[in-house]
């Protein structure tokens, strides 16, 4: 299994600012993903965080808005840039452990509110 | 492209009654299927998963799900619900080669006394 710590767990942000969310895993993982859950909605994949290279973004998401870093096998960050109220969401980190059983593990999520 | 449909947006069930949540998927190959639960203000917790083998899978908290390839379904069931089962339930399918999850819209379960 994998234990995932996300920081911050929640934050209130001002329009136009940027916020970086951290995802720390207690063990090495092969794949790391970032999802967004808008209020009352399901989860949507933002991007795959690739170690040592640029993230792979899904349709509708761009690097300028959601820059992602993954410097090693246990850590990744997602930045939400130039925030607007529409960015108010829960952002979740998900991982596939090195000992791959096919299961994906999720962090508790980071709940952002943009005023 | 893979996709998941959860036809029921909201289900209300009495405590002690049985529960069934529907899930239909679209995927070209053999799917990896999951059910997750999200309690209010909480993260996602995996209830159960299906990769291959026995089509009836047992999960945590007394839940089970049955994979039916002919119907492209993976319905979740619980024989007797508890008030603590009130939550949002998500069905998801993943591609075995890239592990990108596609989630259904979710079903909200309300349990009445």
pLDDT tens, residue by residue, B58-78: 999 999 999 999 999 999 999
Tokens of A63: 């690097």
| Confidence class for position B42, pLDDT limits 50, 70, 90 | confident
| Confidence class for position A54, pLDDT limits 50, 70, 90 | very high
In this model, does residue B21 exceed pLDDT 90? yes
Q: Does A42 contact B101 at a Cβ distance shorter than 8 Å?
A: no
Q: CA dist B14 to B10, B41, B83, B106, Å?
A: 14, 23, 9, 20
- Paired with A11 in beta bridges are A112
d(CA B34, CA A101): 13
Strand, coil or helix: what is A87? helix
Which member of B34, B43, B104 has the closest CB to residue A108? B43
d(CA B108, CA A55): 33
In this model, does residue B102 exceed pLDDT 80? yes
| Confidence class for position B53, pLDDT limits 50, 70, 90 | confident
User: Closest-CA residue in chain A for B34?
Assistant: A103
Q: Which stretches of chain A sit within 8 Å of chain B by CB?
A: 31, 33, 35, 41-45, 48, 58, 92, 94, 96, 102-109
pLDDT tens, residue by residue, A66-105: 999 999 999 999 999 999 999 999 999 999 988 877 788 8
User: Closest-CA residue in chain B for A4?
Assistant: B43
Interval B24-36 mean pLDDT: 87
Mutate to test the interface with A, among B99, B105, B106 (most CBs of A within 10 A): B99
* List of chain A residues whose C-beta atoms are within 8 Å of the C-beta of residue B98: 48
Which member of A42, A94, A104 has the closest CB to residue B106? A42
């Amino acid at each position: 299994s994998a234990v995932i710590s996300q920081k911050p767990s929640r934050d209130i942000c001002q329009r136009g600012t940027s916020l970086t969310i951290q995802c720390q895993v207690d063990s090495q993982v092969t794949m790391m993903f970032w999802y967004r859950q808008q209020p009352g909605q399901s989860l949507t994949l933002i991007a795959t965080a690739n170690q040592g290279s640029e993230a792979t973004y899904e349709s509708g998401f761009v690097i300028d808005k959601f820059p992602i870093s993954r410097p090693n096998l246990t850590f990744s960050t997602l930045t939400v840039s130039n925030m607007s109220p529409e960015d108010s969401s829960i952002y979740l980190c998900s991982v596939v452990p090195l000992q791959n059983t096919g299961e994906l593990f999720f962090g508790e999520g980071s709940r952002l509110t943009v005023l | 492209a893979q996709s998941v449909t959860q036809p029921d947006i909201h289900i209300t069930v009495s405590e002690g009654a049985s529960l069934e949540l529907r899930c239909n998927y679209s995927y070209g190959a053999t799917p990896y299927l999951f059910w997750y639960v999200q309690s209010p203000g909480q993260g996602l917790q995996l209830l159960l998963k299906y990769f291959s083998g026995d089509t009836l899978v047992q999960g945590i908290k007394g839940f089970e799900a049955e994979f039916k390839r002919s119907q492209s379904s993976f319905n979740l069931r619980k024989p007797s619900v508890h008030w603590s089962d009130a939550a949002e339930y998500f069905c998801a399918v993943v591609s075995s080669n890239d592990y990108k999850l596609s989630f259904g819209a979710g079903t909200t379960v309300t349990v009445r006394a």
